[in-house]
A and B are shown apart, each in its own frame.
Chain A
Amino acid sequence: MTAPAVKTKTPPAAASADDAPLYEARRQIYPQSVRGRLRTIKWIVLAVTLGIYYFLPFVRWNRGPGAPDQAVLIDFPARRFYFFFIEIWPQEFYYVAGLLILAALILFLMNAVAGRVWCGYLCPQTVWTDLFMAVERLIEGDRRQRMVEDAGPWTLDKFAHKLMKHSVWLLIAWWTGGAWVLYFADAPTLVHELATFQAPTVAYVAIFTLTFTTYSLAGHMREQVCTYMCPWPRIQAALTDEYALNVTYRYDRGEPRGSVKKAAAARAEGKPAGDCIDCHQCVNVCPTGVDIRQGLQLACIQCGLCIDACNNIMDKVDRPRGLIAYESEANLEARVAGKPPVRRIVRPRTILYTALIVFAGGLMLFTLANRANEGLNAIHDRNPLFVKLSDGSLRNAYTLRLINKDLAERGFILTATGVPGATLSVVGTEGGPEGEVVTVGPDQTREVRVLLTTKDRLAPGTSLPVTFQIRDQKSGATATAVDHFIGP
């Protein structure tokens, strides 16, 4: 098997520091295609995540009249976030904070169980890069063909291949940016507007920006994003421990490495021989170009493609699989020391993360299920704190904000308790037989100015707690807010 003459850029000889370059050109990586269990999982994850991303905006959800019927919608003008049956208001932004906390905890748990499994399978950078590599492979061929073509002179074929590849890349990138903006407006309408150049400028700017970033990050930057830009490899190293499963080369089984024939001869003579035949398949298939046999390293995203590649080779040379496998450092050391294997998925770290996830998720679900469809906030006037009227009575003024999350207009009866002899009036409404009634439109808030007056003489320095309550005229649902009535 002779390799074609390929000009590969070798790392500069590190003989002298003075000769070493200050800046290094990127070494092109030509990942080879591979088949296997983990590769299949990666294809499935890719299809599912990208499928969700590209098509979710088109999923409809009937919320009744007056509300958008898009299942997932970030409605900035109306300041609402819709997620299927959930509707988040701006003052409920803590749900978003809760989701971020939950996401971080899940990331920690994944890390404690299986290292950088996020990087290898779920990270958008990995998923899109994988897709772009698949396109590249389809158009320009596999590793060897691409290397030959890139090293050779420009031909019509090469030009056609490159043009085709970049066109498809840009098309995917453009669709990626296009799908993004659909989350911020009614998708079918926006698609029509975009096609007829009626869409708002910000949509075109967002599409252009995301097209550019997708094209450059997934097409050109690739593994450099992970090694130079991403903070996670740095943080991850501080969060992991010796029991986490990482893609690991079992050097105790693999070394000393050598050709199949040499290994067979050594075994026949009873000399030590490793299972690694130094075929470099694990390096060739690696999307970040690392040699896993050098141990854990920053650039390794632990996608496990080297496991698939190595297993295929082991099958061919008739050696057991798993020379490269998801393995914990503790287990590796135990095996080297001849001790029984260590399998510790359940340990304080994972228990703690799981408990925190359950707690945070449960808390969010509980508050979500029990949140009221009405709310009330009260703010006391600060200047003046109180007013003396000409008949000697005393008055405090408040700004009340009534919140109605129902999709229908509601009337609320407003009452205040806590101040003896106090009468309540709302500026701009006329009290009915039931007292002061404030109507709030569907899915809206309304701010009203409320005056609380008492003829009772209060002792100097008095401050009485006041409870404002709103009660739905129909359903009787209530919400309260507490403030103070301040005397002279």
Chain B
Amino acid sequence: MSTAHDSHDGAVDTATGVSTTGHEWDGIRELNNPLPRWWLWVFYATIVWAFGYWVLYPAWPLISSHTTGLLGWNSRSAVAMQLQDLQALRAETSMRLTNASLEEIEKTPDLLSLARAEGRVAFADNCAPCHGAGGGGAKGFPNLNDDDWLWGGTLADIQQTITHGIRSGDDEGHQGNMTPFGGVLSKADISAAADYVLSLSGAGPADTPSAKKGAAVFAANCAVCHGADGKGKQELGSKNLTDGIWLYGGDKATIMQTITNGRGGVMPAWAGRLSPTTIKALTVYVHTLGGGQ
């Protein structure tokens, strides 16, 4: 084997009549078939193109910034312009969504699919971190697919909750806490109350002495908010204790913890962060997840 440029022997290949380059590998010699010249010029043209590109477009990193290019183009402003174009394109359909009432949107098939499509994206961006990608919820974050609503599940209720939030500091937002009873009730009373609450939802026996004692504790302390029948009061955001759906968990230990320490989750207010039209779309989306009343 020979290395490049050490033996341009000028040998001519007999079969083709083409001279060889002098490169030989395992007895195979390389023929000297020159590339076409236009190919060379295309190569030069790409180099010239690169220089033009460096001058016209942002290209070279500097110590704290970069060259901006003579055209002043940058990808951020290009995206902004595309977004503007998109908004202009969507202005007409967007206006229909803005002008229609929530009920109208839900009854009109094309508006419904439009609102659901916009709502799905807004939900994924803003709501999914707490409520899950499909609104399935998590401990302390309500499942939006079921029919258990602390603050109401009608279109208007959902819109109100999204707009102003819960315990968000917004004056129009929902207020009200589950009061901690740790300093008020004895541990035995709390345990008895928990047994009674379990029996309300059918998860525990109602005729044990503890549950019977708990009924009295409940009537004295809890019925104010949760109602004498334990079905909760929507205007206070108090939970319906008779169904099998739990926000923080339905085992006795968790219920005792809830009674002892109280609860008060926060949902931020979205007014000001999202446009009213987006909140409308979100409302319809959440309502049509399946739990809407």
Contact = CB atoms under 8 A, between A and B. Distances in A.
Interface of A: 14-18, 20-26, 221, 224, 228, 381-384, 387-392, 395, 397, 427-428, 439, 446-447, 449, 451
Nearest to B136: A384
A300 B136 CA distance: 67
A390 B112 contact: no
B40 A23 contact: yes
B290 A395 contact: yes
B229 interface: no
Contact of B36 (A228, A387, A446): A228
Interface string B248-279: 00000000000000000000000000000000
Contacts of A451: 290
Nearest to B105: A428
A26 B32 CA distance: 16
A18 B147 CA distance: 87
B106 A383 contact: no
B18 interface: yes
Contact of B244 (A15, A17, A392, A427): A392
A16 B146 contact: no
Contacts of A21: 34
A390 B133 CA distance: 22
Nearest to B112: A428
B113 A17 contact: no
Contacts of A224: 36, 38
Nearest to A22: B34
A388 B250 CA distance: 14
Contact of B146 (A15, A221, A388): A388
Interface string B35-65: 1111110000000000000000000000000
Contacts of B37: 23-26
Contact of A384 (B22, B137, B244): B137
Contacts of A228: 36, 39
B135 A383 contact: yes
Contact of B288 (A15, A221, A387, A427): A427
A333 B132 CA distance: 76
B8 A17 contact: yes
Contact of A18 (B8, B18, B35, B132): B8
Contacts of B38: 26, 221, 224
12 contacts: A17-B20, A17-B21, A17-B22, A24-B34, A221-B38, A224-B36, A383-B134, A384-B134, A388-B146, A390-B146, A427-B288, A428-B288
A357 B139 CA distance: 60
Contacts of B240: 390
Contacts of A387: 143, 145-146, 290-291
A20 B145 contact: no
Contact of B10 (A15, A24, A383, A392): A15
A25 B36 CA distance: 6
B247 interface: no
Given A24-B34, A228-B39, A16 B8 contact: yes
Interface residues of B, number: 44
Contacts of B107: 428
A21 B18 CA distance: 12
Contact of B35 (A24, A383, A392, A446): A24
Nearest to A27: B36
B244 A447 contact: no
Contacts of A18: 8, 10
Nearest to A451: B290
Given A17-B10, A397-B290, A390 B145 contact: no
B118 interface: no
Contacts of B72: none
Contacts of A449: 116, 288-290
Contacts of A427: 112, 288, 290
B188 interface: no
Contacts of A389: 146-148, 245
Contact of A24 (B11, B19, B36, B244): B36
Interface string B129-154: 00011111100000101111000000
A384 B142 CA distance: 12
A14 B17 contact: yes
Nearest to A220: B38
Contacts of A384: 132, 134-137, 143, 145
B172 interface: no
B91 interface: no
Given A26-B37, A228-B39, A382-B134, A14 B243 contact: no
B50 to A, nearest CB: 20
Nearest to B133: A383
B70 interface: no
Contacts of B36: 23-26, 224, 228
B235 interface: no
B12 A390 contact: no
Given A16-B8, A389-B148, 12 more contacts: A16-B10, A21-B34, A24-B36, A25-B37, A26-B38, A221-B38, A382-B134, A383-B136, A384-B136, A388-B146, A391-B243, A428-B107
Interface string B277-293: 00000000000111100
A318 B140 CA distance: 102
A380 to B, nearest CB: 10
B85 interface: no
A320 to B, nearest CB: 31
A16 B18 CA distance: 10
B113 A447 contact: yes
A415 to B, nearest CB: 19
A224 B12 CA distance: 25
A451 B289 CA distance: 9
B183 interface: no
